[in-house]
A and B are shown apart, each in its own frame.
Chain A
């Protein structure tokens, strides 16, 4: 049985669930109020468009993509553990918390154990052409990009792609679903002594 987490696929292989897309160009609205100085709403909206890039992973179901039941691909951003740690330390300092090595280790364990609902962690890949360190996926931000656009971009780039294999991609999908279906009980279950 093949227990590998990842596979490297050629650029012309069709996009599927679990595909990594590095440096994916994305469009969004700016995270700020619209400029009320601009006379028309369309003018305001045009000024509020923001382009950026992110490493993303395909969350859309494999069967939906294969059978072309979707026109847009659902993507979630991810970071290397190293990059994520930089942002984590900034956030800790912003809350007057000391980002110690122990705190970092506890935080990583919490992500691995599923205590942090919006985050999921993927394993490192140390062999092959494409090597990656652990990746942190964040479900807080979700993007949709047209499938045709994405496939043409990847074909244009002509690069090898990294693919998350089953059952790890289904594990990620499960974590994604859990994030949206979680329920916080107003009255928690009392501790059992």
Chain B
């Protein structure tokens, strides 16, 4: 069913029966996230309209933006985009300026910060890594302690014995004294 719809699109016609979600106003500087997809009512609209549990989401972007996004990526500029949906078609298909993503109904409840890539080569868009600066080399999980017993100790500090160092006299000291 979906492949038929895509082939229809490839011929220059829009898919009928599938919701087209445009990431509008997207440029290479910013990506507007269509938060309506995380809106439950919107989600049910999609499901009802489709009657299937799979939605095809189509992104439209300008070729210029896509090329710019890729070139910036290649010089190390990281878009830090999460790419959660399986790409339906090779982006280098003949369908101009459109990217197809297939998402199941479950996947529509994606996190708020998910964005779709503006790049024509989404394979190059990496999943963002956790920021290591938060940890700065220290990771402190909560270890559960196996308590053998708990005992109340009543003590007055002034009556407690005082710590004494354990001093070892080494050969160097002995040799020096001789």
Q: Which residues of A contact B (CB under 8 A)?
A: 23, 25-27, 42, 45-46, 49, 51-54, 63-64, 69-71, 77, 79, 84, 87-88, 90-92, 94-95, 97-98, 100, 103, 106-107, 110, 115, 136, 138, 140-141
The answer to whether B173 touches A97, judged by C-beta atoms less than 8 angstroms apart, is yes
The docked-state distance in angstroms from the alpha carbon of A88 to that of B29 is 70
The answer to whether A45 touches B149, judged by C-beta atoms less than 8 angstroms apart, is yes
The docked-state distance in angstroms from the alpha carbon of A106 to that of B165 is 19
Interface of B is mostly: loop
Write out, one digit per residue, whether chain B residues 27-66 have a CB within 8 A of any chain A CB (1) or not (0): 0000000000000000000000000000000000000000
A94: which B residues are within 8 A, CB to CB?
169
B140: which A residues are within 8 A, CB to CB?
69-71
The answer to whether B148 touches A52, judged by C-beta atoms less than 8 angstroms apart, is no
Closest to B155 in A: A51
The answer to whether B157 touches A87, judged by C-beta atoms less than 8 angstroms apart, is no
The docked-state distance in angstroms from the alpha carbon of A45 to that of B148 is 9
Closest to A140 in B: B166
A52 touching B162 in the complex, CB below 8 Å, given contacts A25-B157, A70-B140, A98-B177: yes
The answer to whether A26 touches B151, judged by C-beta atoms less than 8 angstroms apart, is no
Closest to A31 in B: B166
The docked-state distance in angstroms from the alpha carbon of A64 to that of B140 is 10
A23: which B residues are within 8 A, CB to CB?
157
Q: List 18 A-B contacts (CB under 8 A).
A: A42-B148, A49-B153, A51-B153, A52-B162, A53-B163, A77-B163, A77-B165, A79-B165, A87-B167, A91-B167, A92-B173, A97-B173, A97-B174, A97-B177, A98-B177, A103-B173, A106-B173, A140-B166
Q: Which residues of B contact A (CB under 8 A)?
A: 136, 138, 140, 148-149, 151, 153, 155, 157, 160-169, 172-174, 176-177
CB within 8 Å: A-B pair count: 72
The docked-state distance in angstroms from the alpha carbon of A97 to that of B169 is 9
The docked-state distance in angstroms from the alpha carbon of A87 to that of B99 is 79
The answer to whether B161 touches A52, judged by C-beta atoms less than 8 angstroms apart, is yes
A92 touching B162 in the complex, CB below 8 Å, given contacts A51-B153, A53-B157, A98-B177: no
The answer to whether B163 touches A91, judged by C-beta atoms less than 8 angstroms apart, is no
Q: How far is the CB of B112 from chain A (nearest CB, A)?
A: 27
The docked-state distance in angstroms from the alpha carbon of A140 to that of B167 is 10
Q: Which of A54, A63, A103, A106 contacts B162, CB < 8 Å?
A: A54
